[in-house]
Structure 1
Amino acid sequence: MKLRLSLQTRLVLITGMAAMLAVIVALLLSEWVENRWAEWSLALVIAFVATAFLVRWWSAPMVSLLRALSGSVASFRDGDFSFGIVHATDDELGDLVASHNELATVLREERQNLFQRELLLDTVIQNTPVAMVLTEPRGHVVYGNLAARQLFNSGRRLEGLLFDEVMAELPQSLRDALDQGGDRLFTVSGETEDDTYHLARRGFRLNGRPHELYLFRRLTAELSRQEVASWKKVIRVISHEINNSLGPIASLAHSGQELLRRGDSERMQRVFATIEERARHLDRFIGGYASFAKLPTPRLEQVDWMPFLQHLRSHYDFALDGEALATPGRFDPAQLQQALINLLKNAHESGTDPADVTLTLRRASGGVRIDVADRGPGMSDAVLANALVPFYSTKRSGTGLGLALAREIVEAHGGRIGLSNRDGGGLAVSLFLPQA
C-alpha cells in the first residue's frame, strides 16, 4: 500500500532535516572552532543555505503546477475546456489536479450538450413558419430566422441592419402595428389576397443588455378555416332559431283554424298574440344578422367630437382619457356610434370596474385614433387570433357579431382595428379612422 504524505508532513520533514543538519555541522565544527558563538553562527548559516536549497527543490514542482493551473483557469474563462494537467504525487495538490481535470471533463460535456441543444433549437427556429426578429438596444437586428428574411428582406440576411430601416420599406399596416406596441392582429394587402398576421413582442435581457424579440405569425389559413367553421355555426344557429319559431307558429295556426271553426274568438286572440310574438322574435333575430350582412356605405359628414361623445356616454359610461379633439371628425356618426357601443358593451361585460373603462381620442398620422380599454382578464392568444371573425364568441349567449361589426364599420371608413392585451391586465381595442 502506497504511503500518502501530506504537504504539511513533507514541510515538517524538510524543517527537521535542516535542524538536524545544523546540529551535525555544529558538532563537526566544535573540533576546529574554539569560539562557541562563531561555531553556532557558522552552523546556522550552513543550515539556512541548505534549507533554502531544499525548500526551492521541494517547491519547484508546486510552483510549476500552480502556473499550469492558472493558465488552465484562464483557458476556461475563454471557453477552452480541452486542457488537462498531470500530477503524480499523492497529496493535496494531487487531489486539486484531479478535481480540476474532472471539472474540465464536466465542462466539455456540458458545452457539447449545449452545442447540440443550440443546434436543435436553431434548426427548429430556422424552419418554423413564425418570423422571428431579435434586436439590440440601438435597434440593430442581431438575429432573424429564414421566415423573417423572406418576409422582410427578400430572403437576404437581416443581421446588422437597423430594424426601423427594414420596416420603412414595408406596408403601412405593419408599421402601425409595431408603433402601437403590445400584441395585436394586423392585415397586409397582397396582390391576390390579404394576409392576416399576429404580432407578439417581448423584452428581455441578454448578456446584461436589453433586447426585444418580435414574432410575426401568419394566420390567414387558420382564419379561413375558422371562417368556414363560423359560417357552419351560424347556419346551425339560424336553422335552430327558425325551427323553434316556425314550429310553434305552424302548430298555433292549426289550432287557430280549429278555434275559428268552433267560433272561440277569445282563445283565438291569444293564439294570434302568441303568433305575433314569435314572429317579432324571429324578425329581431334575423334582423341582427342582416344588419351585419347588409351594412350600408358610410355617409360621411363633419361631426363635433364632444357632443358625439356625450351622446355615446348615455348608452355606456366611460372615462375620457385626455380631452376631445377640437377639430371635427369626418365619419358616419350612426355607424361609428354603433361600433363604439359594441366595444363599450364588451368592456363593461369583461368583469372590470366600470370606472376603469376608458376611451382615448387622439390625433394620429393621417387620421384619428380611438382606444377603448378595460382592466378585465384580457384575451388569450387563441381568442385574439379569432376575436374579429364573424360569429366567433367565447360567451355562451354571444352572437359573435360585436367586434366583427365594429371591424366592418371601421374598414368601410377606410380605417383599421387592432386588439392588444394591456400591461397590468385588460384589453385595448384601437380604431384608426383616416381624415381628409
Structure 2
Amino acid sequence: MSAPAQPRRARWHRSLHLRLALCLAGAGVAAMLIHVTLTRWPVPQVLGALGAAAPAPWSAGALGLTMLLVLPIAWGLASLLLMPLRRLLRALESTVLSYRDGEFGSAIAADAPGGLSELSSLMRLHSELGQALREQRRHLAQRELLLDTVVQNTPVALVLTDAQEHIAYANIAARQLMDQGRSLAGRPLGEALAGAPEDLRQALSGTQEGLFSVMLDGQEERFHLSMRDFRLQGQPHRLRLVRRMTKELSRQEVASWKRVIRVISHELNNSLAPISSLAHSGAELSRRGAHERVPGVFASIGERAQHLHGFLAGYARFAKLPAPVPVPVAWQPFVESLGAHYPFTLSGALPAAPGAFDAAQMEQALINLLKNAHESGSAPAQVSLSIQALREDWRIEVGDRGPGMTATQLSQALLPFYSTKRSGSGLGLAIAREIAEAHGGRIAMGNREGGGLWVAISWPRP
C-alpha cells in the first residue's frame, strides 16, 4: 500500500471508531436516564400517587421496558451515523450502472455529507477513476475512427461474414465491387452478389484463394482473393480480402518484356559473336589456303546457328499459338495420355460426357502444369489431377504438396518469362494461360490448405 493511502485509512478508522463510540455512549446514557426515570424518579412517584406499585430497579420488567424504550433511540442514532454512507452507496450504485451502460460522464460531489472526510477521499478517487475511463474511451474512439477511416478508404475490398454467411462488415471498395456502392451490412453474401459478374460470384462464394479474372465494363480485370477464418465475440467469422491486380500485372508484364528482350539480346550476342569470329577465321584460312580446316569452322558456325534457331523457336511457339480447334474428346484416353508424360493421382470420377476442346493444346497446357507440380518438390504420389463438369464450365485442376507460393509470386506467376526456378524459362504457366484464354476460359491458382499449390483451367461448356 502506498504511503498516502495509509493516513487516509487511519483517518477513516479513527473517525468511524469515534462516531461509533459516541453512538454507543449516547445509547448507554439514554438507557441509564430511562432506567432511572422508570425506577427512581419520577415514574415511581407517579405510580405511587395512583396507588400502583413501582417496578423494582433490577427486575426483569424494568430492564425489559428500558431496553424497549432505548431501541428507537439507538436506531435513530445509527441511522444518523449511516446516512452519509447510504447516500454514497446510492450514488455509487448509480454511477456503476452508468459505467455498465458505457456512460462515463456521471460524477459524485466531492463534499461528503455528514462530515465524513473519509467519504470525500473515496469520492475523489471515484471521480479520478471516471476521468481515467473517459480518457481511455476517448482514445479508443479516436483509434477506432482512424482504423475505420483507413479500412474504409483502402483500395483492397474487405468483406467480413458470420457463420451464416451474412455480411457483418464491408468497406467502400467491397460495396462498389459487389453491388455498385450499396450497403451490404446484414445481407446474405449470395444476395449481395446476385448482380455481380459470374466469375466474381464463384470466387467469393468458394473456399479457394488465388487469382481470378472478371469482365468489368468490357475489360478483363484480374483480382487476388485471400481469406482468413477467426472467432469474433465467440462466433466464427470469415474475412475476404480482394485486391485488384490489373495495374500491378500490367507493370509486371512490361518488366517481363524488358527482361525477355535482355535475355534474347544476351543469347543473340552469345551466338552472333562466335559466328562472326568463326566467319572471319574461315575467310582467313581460305585466304591462306588451309582448306582442310574450313569444314570444321563451318560446322561450328552451323552448331551455333542451330542453337540460336532452337532458342528463338521456343519463344516463337509462345508468340504464335494457333487458334484452337475444339472437338469432342473422351476423357479416359486423354487422361491416360497425360499419365504417360508425368504420373499423377486422379481425384474423383471422370465425367461421363465427353469434353470439347483442342486436345493437342490442352494436353500441352496440362503437361506444363504437371511438370511444374513434379518440379515443386512434391512427392509424385501427391501430385493430383481432377476433372469436373460444372453447370456452365469444364474445370481441370492440378495440385501438389510443394512449398506453394507467396502472394507476390502468385501475382506474377502467370506473366511470361517469370519463373521461381533458377533454370526455368517462365513460359509454362504463360502458355497454359494463353491456351485457356484461347478456349474462352481462364486459369486460376492458389495455395492449398495443408501446403502446396493448385492450378485450375476452366472453359465454357458448349
Whether these two folds match at TM > 0.5 is yes
The residue that corresponds to 1:68 in the other structure is: 91
Q: Where do 1:27-426 residues align within 5 Å? A: 29=38, 31=40, 33-37=55-59, 38-86=61-109, 88=112, 89-91=116-118, 94=120, 96-191=122-217, 193-262=219-288, 264=290, 267-426=293-452
Range with greater deviation from structure 2 (186-195 or 112-121): 186-195
Change (3 A) 1:11 1:287: farther
Asked if 1 retains the 8 angstrom alpha-carbon contact of 2:369 and 2:398, the reply is yes
CA-atom RMSD, angstroms? 2.7
Asked if 1 retains the 8 angstrom alpha-carbon contact of 2:199 and 2:212, the reply is yes
Distance in 2, matches of 1:259 and 1:406, equals 49
Distance in 2, matches of 1:359 and 1:143, equals 37
State the identity %: 51
Q: Quick check: which has more Rg, 1 or 2?
A: 2
The residue that corresponds to 1:9 in the other structure is: 17
Change (3 A) 1:412 1:41: same
Distance in 2, matches of 1:95 and 1:319, equals 78
Asked if 1 retains the 8 angstrom alpha-carbon contact of 2:179 and 2:193, the reply is no
Shift of residue 95 of structure 1? 5.2
Pairing 1:18–2:5 present: no
| Structure 1 residues not aligned, in runs of 5+ | none
Range with greater deviation from structure 2 (376-385 or 1-10): 1-10
**TM-score under structure 2 normalisation?**
0.85
Distance in 1, matches of 2:335 and 2:316, equals 27
Distance in 2, matches of 1:270 and 1:100, equals 101
Shift of residue 409 of structure 1? 0.7
Distance in 1, matches of 2:81 and 2:208, equals 68
Asked if 1 retains the 8 angstrom alpha-carbon contact of 2:190 and 2:205, the reply is no
Distance in 2, matches of 1:96 and 1:320, equals 75
Asked if 1 retains the 8 angstrom alpha-carbon contact of 2:98 and 2:104, the reply is yes
Q: Deviations over 1:265-310 (max 9, x none)?
A: 6654543443333222222221111111011111222222222222
Q: Deviations over 1:327-369 (max 9, x none)?
A: 3222222211211122122222223333322212222122321
**TM-score under structure 1 normalisation?**
0.89
Shift of residue 174 of structure 1? 1.2
